[in-house]
């Protein structure tokens, strides 16, 4: 395992995830992980021995969090942006996880060139939420690529997940409720049956702005709608469940005022 001085660049910081000593390298002026990634990692259920593919790993936060919660066999984490893939790789090295997590600098649409068809137990993705590139001043910008379907589409993600998954393999996705019809239509098209969904509401009286979805390849048609997850209490503090999901006392280290990007 390399030490921090060898792995961290002058403009970067190291955040303690307060989970089994795990840490992550981030660029405060760039794209930092947000609550979406934390919620998705908590929603994703893995078994010992699972082979996993992640589409769009960004900083590498989801594989690193999952490594502290379960004994999966291997995660192949795809990231199309070279700068992000390189930083995620250094975070993997910082935690000594090279044997369990491999960051692949490639577009997810080429995933079948790296991972055999039908060989994966779980696919997980926190994809761009915005369809198209309308209104973007710089489509090559890091944040634009992370938020808009610039280099891949929702259908690309669903199609490649279906091809990589074993029969009865699971697909976990976080997205916006206004894309649910698109998601369900595409998942059915590629034989990924939606089985669980959970809405995320900022406040109890507000409409959901995020949703978590689990699909099963070749699954039967029965969707279980879980009770919604509320992020904030009326006064603006996090709810008890959010504190439990983060598993940390100093949750404010990862709020927007400290550079978080959702």
Q: pLDDT tens-digit profile of 185-217?
A: 999 999 999 999 999 999 999 999 999 999 999
Q: What is the model's pLDDT at position 147?
A: 53
Helix (H, G, I), strand (E, B) or coil at 214: strand
How confident is the model over 19-52, as pLDDT tens digits?
Answer: 889 999 999 887 788 899 999 999 999 999 999 9
Q: What is the model's pLDDT at position 97?
A: 97
The answer to whether the CB of 131 falls within 8 A of the CB of 147 is: no
Instruction: Using DSSP bridges, classify how beta strands 192-201 and 210-217 pair: parallel, antiparallel or unpaired.
Output: antiparallel
Q: What is the model's pLDDT at position 67?
A: 96
Is this prediction's pTM over 0.85? yes
Torsion 119-125-131-137 (CA) sign:
negative
The low-confidence residues of the chain, meaning pLDDT below 50, are: 133-140, 144-146, 148-149, 256-262
For residue 119, give both structure tokens.
Answer: 């060989």
Maximal CA-CA distance, the chain: 52
Distance, CA of 159 to CA of 192 (rounded, Å): 9
Distance, CA of 35 to CA of 17 (rounded, Å): 13
Q: What is the model's pLDDT at position 262?
A: 39
For residue 138, give both structure tokens.
Answer: 């710089």
């Amino acid at each position: 395992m390399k030490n921090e001085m060898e792995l961290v660049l002058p403009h970067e910081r190291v955040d303690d995830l307060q989970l089994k000593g795990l840490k992550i390298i981030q660029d405060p002026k760039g794209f930092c992980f947000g609550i979406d990634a934390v919620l998705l990692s908590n929603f994703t259920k893995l078994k010992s021995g699972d082979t996993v593919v992640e589409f769009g790993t960004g900083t590498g936060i989801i594989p690193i969090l999952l490594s502290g919660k379960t004994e999966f066999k291997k995660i192949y984490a795809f990231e199309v942006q070279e700068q992000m893939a390189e930083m995620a790789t250094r975070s993997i090295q910082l935690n000594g996880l090279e044997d369990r997590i491999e960051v692949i600098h490639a577009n997810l649409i080429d995933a079948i060139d790296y991972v055999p068809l039908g060989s994966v137990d779980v696919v997980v993705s926190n994809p761009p939420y915005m369809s198209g590139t309308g209104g973007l001043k710089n489509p090559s910008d890091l944040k634009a690529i992370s938020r808009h379907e610039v280099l891949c589409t929702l259908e690309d993600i669903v199609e490649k997940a279906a091809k990589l998954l074993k029969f009865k393999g699971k697909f976990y996705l976080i997205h916006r409720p206004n894309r649910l019809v698109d998601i369900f239509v595409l998942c059915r098209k590629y034989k990924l049956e939606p089985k669980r969904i959970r809405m995320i509401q900022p406040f109890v009286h507000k409409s959901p702005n995020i949703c978590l979805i689990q699909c099963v390849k070749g699954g039967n048609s029965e969707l279980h709608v879980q009770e919604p997850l509320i992020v904030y209490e009326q006064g603006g503090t996090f709810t008890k469940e959010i504190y439990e999901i983060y598993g940390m006392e100093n949750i404010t280290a990862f709020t927007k005022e400290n550079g978080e990007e959702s």
